[in-house]
C-alpha cells in the first residue's frame, strides 16, 4: 500500500497500525489476484500500446494484463531504482492488477494509494485533466513516482531496492525509524514476495515486447537476473548479491542460464561466445556483451562490460559511487567489442 508515515506529509500511524494496514493490503492483493481483468477495453481507456512511446503488446504475460505492460515499462523508465519487472511484481502484490481494488484501510486502485499519499504524489498520466487513483493510466506512473520519492529518502540506509519497497508499504518514516526494513512481518513478506517474483515478470515482459526470435532463452534469463539487480551499489571486486562490479554482474547473470563465464572483464572479452562485428549494430541482440576500455583498460584489453538490452540500451554496473543501472548506448563508453554468450547455451 502506498502510504506515508509519521515523518512524511501524509497520515500518522503507529507501528501496530502500519503493520495492520500492510496486512490488510496483502489480503486485498490476494483477493484482487482472483479478479484480474485481461480485456484491454476494461482498463480505463488504456489501449494495447499504452501510449505512443510504449511497446505494443497483444497478449497478457505472467498474469500481467496486456494493456498494462506498456505503461509499466514507460513508468519504470522514469525511476533509476525501478525496472519494469520490479514494478509489475509490486503492482501484482498490491492489488493483483485489480484497478478497482479497495482496502478496508482506504487504499484504492491498482497501486493501492491512500488519499493523503495520492494528494501528494498522484499524477494525471493520460492527460485527461484528472488524476484518478482508480485509473491505471494515472496510478501506474504515480506508483513509479512515489517509489522514486521514497527511494531517495531511504537509500542511504542500505539496499535501495529493498528499502524502497519497504517504504512504499510501511511508509518512509517507518524505514528511517527502523534504520532499514521495519520488523513488521507484513512488510518483510511484501518485500520478499516482490523480489522473488520480479525476475519472472521481467523475463515475461521482455518476451512479450521483443521481436519473435530476437531474444535467446539464455539471454532472456541473464537479462531477467540483471534487471533484478538494478539500483544495487557498485563495489570493485564484489560478487553479489547486494553489491556488484561490472564483470561479476555479467558472470552471475549468465550463470542463471547455465553458462559459465570468466570472472574478470579482461577474460570475458575473449571467452564469452562468438564476436559480433562492431559495425553491424543492427545485428546486436539483447543479451550480447558490450566491452569498453573503462578506467583501467584499453580498447584491445577492455576493463568494462555491460549487457545489451536492445533498443540502444545497456545495463551495467558503472563505477564506484554508482549503482547498477540502464543507460542509453550513447551514454555508455565507446564500444570496442561485442560478444554473444547466449550462443554458448545452444
Kindly state the cell numbers that stand for 179: 534504520
Residue 43 scores a pLDDT above 50: no
Residue 226 scores a pLDDT above 70: yes
Dihedral angle sign, alpha carbons of residues 74, 78, 80, 81? negative
pLDDT tens, 239-267? 999 999 999 999 999 999 999 999 999 99
CA gap 22, 140 in Å, rounded: 19
Q: pLDDT value at position 88?
A: 95
User: Domain 217-343 in CATH: superfamily?
Assistant: endopeptidase domain like (from Nostoc punctiforme) (3.90.1720.10)
Residue 59 scores a pLDDT above 90: no
Kindly state the cell numbers that stand for 4: 506515508
Mean pLDDT of the chain: 82
Whether the Cβ atoms of residue 110 and residue 91 lie closer than 8 Å to each other: yes
Q: Identify the active-site residue in 94, 186, 280, 333.
A: 94
Whether the Cβ atoms of residue 137 and residue 122 lie closer than 8 Å to each other: no
Annotated catalytic, 94? yes
User: What are the residue ranges spanned by the domains of the chain?
Assistant: 66-209, 217-343
Q: pLDDT value at position 159?
A: 93
Is the model more confident about 323 or about 204?
323
pLDDT tens, 308-319? 998 888 999 999
DSSP string of 2-70? B---TTSSS----HHHHHHHHHHHHHHHHHHHTT----GGGSTT--TTSSTTS----S-BTTB-HHHHH
244 DSSP assignment: B
Secondary structure of residue 233 in the 3-state scheme: strand
Name the CATH topology of 66-209.
Answer: Lysozyme (1.10.530)
Q: Of 78, 79, 80, which Cα lies nearest the Cα of 323?
A: 80
Residue 32 scores a pLDDT above 90: no
Per the confidence metrics, is the pTM higher than 0.75?
no
Q: Where are the alpha helices (DSSP H) in the chain?
A: 15-33, 66-76, 84-95, 115-121, 136-154, 160-170, 172-178, 185-209, 217-227, 246-255, 265-268
Amino acid at each position: 500500500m502506498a502510504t506515508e508515515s509519521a515523518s512524511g506529509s501524509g497520515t500518522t500511524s503507529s507501528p501496530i497500525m502500519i503493520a495492520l494496514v500492510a496486512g490488510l493490503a496483502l489480503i486485498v492483493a490476494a483477493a484482487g489476484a482472483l479478479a484480474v481483468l485481461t480485456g484491454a477495453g476494461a482498463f480505463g481507456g488504456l489501449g494495447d500500446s499504452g501510449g505512443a512511446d510504449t511497446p505494443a503488446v497483444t497478449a497478457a504475460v505472467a498474469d500481467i494484463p496486456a494493456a498494462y505492460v506498456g505503461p509499466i515499462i514507460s513508468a519504470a523508465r522514469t525511476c533509476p531504482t525501478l525496472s519494469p519487472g520490479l514494478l509489475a511484481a509490486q503492482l501484482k502484490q498490491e492489488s493483483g492488477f485489480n484497478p478497482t481494488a479497495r482496502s478496508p484501510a482506504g487504499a484504492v486502485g491498482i497501486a493501492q494509494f491512500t488519499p493523503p499519499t495520492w494528494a501528494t504524489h498522484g499524477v494525471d498520466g493520460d492527460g485527461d485533466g484528472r488524476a484518478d487513483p482508480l485509473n491505471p493510466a494515472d496510478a501506474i506512473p504515480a506508483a513509479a513516482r512515489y517509489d522514486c520519492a521514497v527511494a531517495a529518502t531511504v537509500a542511504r540506509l542500505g539496499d535501495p531496492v529493498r528499502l524502497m519497497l519497504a517504504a512504499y508499504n510501511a511508509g518512509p518514516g517507518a524505514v528511517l525509524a527502523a534504520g532499514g526494513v521495519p520488523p513488521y512481518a507484513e512488510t518483510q513478506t511484501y518485500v520478499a514476495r516482490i523480489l522473488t517474483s520480479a525476475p519472472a515478470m521481467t523475463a515475461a515482459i521482455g518476451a512479450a515486447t521483443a521481436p519473435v526470435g530476437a531474444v535467446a532463452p539464455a539471454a532472456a534469463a541473464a537479462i531477467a537476473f540483471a534487471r533484478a539487480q538494478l539500483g544495487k551499489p557498485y563495489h570493485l571486486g564484489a560478487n553479489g548479491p547486494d553489491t556488484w562490479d561490472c564483470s561479476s554482474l555479467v558472470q552471475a547473470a549468465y550463470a542463471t542460464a547455465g553458462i559459465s563465464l570468466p570472472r574478470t572483464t579482461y577474460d570475458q572479452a575473449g571467452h564469452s561466445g562468438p564476436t559480433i562485428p562492431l559495425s553491424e549494430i543492427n545485428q546486436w541482440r539483447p543479451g550480447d556483451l558490450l566491452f569498453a576500455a573503462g578506467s583501467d583498460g584499453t580498447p584491445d584489453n577492455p576493463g568494462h562490460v555491460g549487457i545489451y538490452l536492445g533498443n540502444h540500451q545497456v545495463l551495467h554496473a558503472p563505477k564506484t559511487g554508482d549503482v547498477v543501472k540502464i543507460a542509453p548506448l550513447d551514454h555508455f563508453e565507446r564500444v570496442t567489442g561485442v560478444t554473444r554468450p547466449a550462443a554458448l547455451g545452444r
